[in-house]
A = this chain, B = another copy of it.
Amino acid sequence: MAIEPNPEAVILTEIMLAVFRVNGRLLEKGDQLVEPLNLTSARWQVLGAVALAEKPLSAPQIAEAMGITRQGAQKQLNKLEEDGFFEQSLNPRHQRSPLYALTELGNCTFAKVMTLEAIWANGLVAGLSLQDLRKTLQTLNSIYERLDFPVPRKGGRS
């Protein structure tokens, strides 16, 4: 009657709980890290998406890069533009959908964030082995890929 999870599944479940905890703490610490720059973790991520692309992007492109919905990205963009981190330019390919580029302030702020992040991460890894970290990254990526498969559904033969 009762399904017996095999040993690997038990550890996997513990990993899931650990991911939840680490995720929460990362957002919390990330907010603290960039708070002096008038940013949050969410706003930081938007800056990063455009900085990484190294060219202006439209709102839907930014959403895609971030893995969130276009409406979610738009909300942040509107606020970030208000605060002077982004400026719009005309999109030759779509009149109603402007491109967003980092302003001087945006670029300068993101550079500061990268420095802060590097200092923070350097302090955080003290004593962790490169090999363990590589293995962990590999395993997490592997789990992520497996999560692509649909969840088993009652009678789900499709």
Binding site for B on A (CB under 8 A): 2-16, 18-26, 29, 32-33, 36, 67, 115-125, 128-130, 132-144, 146-147, 149-154
Contact = CB atoms under 8 A, between A and B. Distances in A.
B130 A11 contact: yes
Contact of A128 (B123, B142, B153): B142
Given A36-B153, A119-B152, A140-B15, A124 B9 contact: yes
A7 B130 contact: yes
Q: How many copies, total?
A: 2
A135 B133 contact: no
Contact of A118 (B9, B29, B130, B137): B9
Main SS class of interface, A? helix
A125 B19 contact: no
Given A36-B153, A153-B36, A119 B23 contact: no
Nearest to A3: B118
A50 B75 CA distance: 37
Contact of A11 (B21, B116, B117, B134): B134
B19 A128 contact: no
Contacts of A2: 115
Nearest to A142: B128
Contacts of A150: 32
Nearest to A143: B22
Contacts of A4: 118
A123 to B, nearest CB: 6
